[in-house]
């Protein structure tokens, strides 16, 4: 690669960054690995807005946080480049296109889900989603379970949630404590590598945010700034929660959703698949905002849209608002839209707070094993939790409504799993191929009968 003089790396206006983050919001398919790879290629290799070292340093911090690491990484880089508003714009635009698209698809699903063509597409996608969850467990497991101790944590987590029915937060908390204790008693067990495939590239010859630049004033850690950001974040949470409570009551659906998804956001270690069992326990079993079948359909829609997979919570909120019609039976759509927006706000607000609160500290210090070991243990536990999720999905897909075994669904799921794990085909082609197969299996018999 030809050396580029530092002078050729020009400052990036906020307007230019705005259009980039908006574009990223529409093309961010492929889950966190794909999204981080896109940002690495764009920002490190092509645009040279940030150096390889600083990109990975930011990524390591985002991996330690609950929440979607790709969205948090965009927020972090936006904050480095253009202060607080830069971070808000980058993180917000990573989410908003997915929110609007998912609300549109969910409305189509609720209004026309019984149409044979739509039912056929979903019939093919559901076993593919099961395969995607299995592939996620395989991918995370091969990267995380490096020794027998970590395998033990994963197996214990599976038994805890599958057989003992322990709540997901308890499993995560215990795993974190085991990791912290392990960092003191057996540090070699919990030493691992970070990253989602962004490594293996040579550093850009120069970058706007390079390795030798001094610390910008807005990235310096001060207790005054820390306190202001913390109070602002808590205020934004409390004000919206109070407004919802005054409008709909403390036991109203929007307040219940706001509180529940705030807790879910704080437990999203290891990606969206890890927190889905908790969302299922609350949204399906406890609050009954939607059914188990609808939850699977929502994950199918979430897999086909850009943005973080945790955006499935917008589907849950939309269906919950549509079902409860807390604005009145004649305002089902308005209830659904408001609920989806409420859920999205409370799910992603903690991510912005974590980045703006901890970014200055991370810029001035590096992580240590006492911080990374709990994350390693949590990620190992997450593997067991995801396997439990795969078992749950497989049961509902292969034995629909508790009936006989569905061989066609099993065939589609097996082909999808082979494509994902063995041949490393992308998620979107697998989803599309499975949708076509499901559509054909649904419509061809009807056409032949006619």
CB 361 within 8 A of CB 221: yes
Indicate whether 269 pLDDT > 70: no
| Structure confidence by residue, pLDDT tens digits, 29-39 | 656 766 777 78
| Weakest mean pLDDT among 17-26, 31-40, 62-71, 261-270 | 31-40
Q: Which residue has the higher pLDDT, 274 or 14?
A: 14
Of 56-65, 236-245, 422-431, minimum mean pLDDT range: 56-65
* pTM, full prediction: 0.73
Query: Closest Cα to residue 376, out of 64, 56, 62, 14?
Result: 64
Q: Kindly give the interhelix angle for 223-248 and 332-364, rounded to the nearest 10 degrees.
A: 170
Q: Do the beta carbons of residue 88 and residue 352 sit within 8 Å? A: yes
- pLDDT recorded at residue 8: 52
DSSP 214: P
Of 50-54, 347-351, 370-374, 394-398, give the range with the top mean pLDDT: 347-351
Q: What's residue 9's pLDDT?
A: 60
> What angle (nearest 5°) sits at the alpha carbon of residue 246, between those of residues 244 and 251?
70
Residue-wise pLDDT for 206-224, tens only, equals 778 776 665 678 888 899 9
In the predicted structure, residue 416 carries a pLDDT above the cut 70? yes
3-state SS, 268-316, equals CCCCHHHHHHHHHHHHHHHCCCCCHHHHHHHHHHHHCCCCCHHHHHHHH
Where residue 421 falls among pLDDT bands split at 50, 70, 90? Answer: confident
The conformation of residue 209, written as its DSSP 8-state character, comes to B
pLDDT band at 114 (very low <50, low <70, confident <90, very high): low
CA angle 75, 132, 139 (to 5 degrees): 70
Q: How far is CA 56 from the centre of its chain?
A: 19
- Give dist(CA 450, CA 444) in Å, integer: 10
Residue 346 banded pLDDT, cuts 50, 70, 90: very high
For the ranges 22-26, 73-77, 79-83, 109-113, the lowest mean pLDDT is seen at 109-113
Distance CA 328, CA 88 (A): 34
Confidence of residue 448 (pLDDT cuts 50, 70, 90): low
The pLDDT score that the predictor gives to residue 197 is 42
Per mean pLDDT, which of 83-92, 273-282, 307-316, 385-394 is the most reliable? Answer: 83-92
The whole-angstrom separation of Cα 316 and Cα 278 is: 13
104: number of Cβ within 10 Å: 12
Structure tokens at 331: 């305002």
Q: Residue 324 pLDDT > 70, yes or no?
A: yes
How many helices and strands in the chain, by DSSP H and E? 16, 0
Query: Is the per-residue pLDDT at 143 higher than 80?
Result: no
Stretch 66-81: mean pLDDT: 91
Q: Give the integer Cα–Cα distance in Å for 152 and 239.
A: 43
The pLDDT of residue 300 is 77
Residue 194 banded pLDDT, cuts 50, 70, 90: very low
Predicted confidence at residue 39, as pLDDT, reads: 86
Cα gap 190→145, rounded to integer Å:
10
Averaged pLDDT of the chain:
84
Task: With cut-offs at 50, 70 and 90, classify the pLDDT of residue 260.
Answer: very high
- In DSSP terms, which residues pair with 50 in a beta bridge? 209
Query: Please, are residues 313 and 347 in contact by the beta-carbon 8 Å criterion?
Result: yes
Instruction: Give residues with Cβ within 8 angstroms of 421, minimum separation 6.
Output: 134, 135, 138
Report residue 5's pLDDT band, with 50, 70 and 90 as the boundaries: very low
């Amino acid at each position: 690669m030809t050396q580029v003089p530092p002078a050729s790396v020009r400052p990036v206006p906020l307007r230019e960054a705005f259009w980039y983050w908006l574009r990223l919001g529409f093309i961010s398919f492929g889950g966190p690995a794909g999204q981080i790879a896109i940002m690495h290629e764009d920002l490190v290799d092509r645009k040279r807005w940030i150096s390889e070292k600083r990109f990975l340093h930011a990524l390591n911090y985002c991996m330690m946080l609950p929440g979607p690491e790709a969205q948090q990484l965009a927020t972090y880089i936006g904050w480095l480049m253009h202060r607080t508003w830069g971070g808000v714009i980058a993180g917000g635009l990573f989410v908003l296109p997915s929110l609007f698209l998912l609300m549109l698809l969910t409305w189509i699903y609720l209004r026309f889900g019984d149409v044979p063509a739509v039912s056929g597409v979903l019939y093919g996608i559901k076993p593919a989603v099961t395969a995607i969850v299995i592939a996620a467990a395989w991918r995370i497991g091969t990267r995380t379970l490096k020794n027998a101790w970590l395998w033990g944590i994963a197996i214990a987590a599976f038994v805890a949630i599958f057989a003992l029915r322990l709540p997901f937060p308890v499993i995560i908390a215990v795993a974190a404590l085991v990791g912290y204790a392990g960092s003191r008693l057996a540090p070699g067990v919990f030493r691992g590598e970070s990253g989602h495939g962004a490594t293996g590239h040579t550093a850009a010859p120069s970058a706007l945010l390079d390795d030798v630049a001094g610390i910008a004033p807005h990235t310096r850690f001060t207790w005054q700034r820390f306190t202001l950001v913390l109070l602002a974040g808590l205020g934004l949470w409390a004000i919206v929660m109070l407004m919802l409570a005054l409008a709909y009551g403390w036991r109203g659906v929007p307040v219940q959703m706001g509180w529940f998804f705030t807790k879910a956001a704080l437990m999203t270690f290891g990606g969206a698949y890890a927190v889905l069992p908790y969302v299922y326990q609350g949204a399906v079993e406890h609050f009954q905002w939607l059914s188990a079948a609808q939850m699977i359909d929502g994950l199918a829609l979430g897999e086909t849209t850009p943005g973080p997979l945790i955006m499935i919570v917008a589907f849950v909120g939309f269906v919950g608002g549509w079902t409860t019609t807390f604005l009145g039976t004649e305002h089902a759509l308005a209830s659904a839209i408001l609920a989806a927006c409420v859920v999205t706000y409370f799910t992603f607000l903690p991510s912005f707070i974590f980045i703006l609160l901890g970014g200055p500290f991370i810029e001035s210090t590096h992580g240590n094993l006492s911080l990374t070991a709990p994350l390693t243990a949590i990620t190992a536990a997450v593997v067991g939790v995801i396997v439990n999720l795969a078992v749950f999905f497989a049961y509902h897909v292969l034995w629909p409504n508790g009936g006989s075994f569905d061989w066609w669904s099993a065939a589609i799921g097996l082909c999808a799993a082979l494509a994902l794990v063995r041949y490393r085909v992308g998620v979107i082609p697998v989803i599309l191929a499975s949708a076509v197969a499901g559509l054909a299996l649904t419509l061809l018999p009807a056409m032949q009968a006619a």
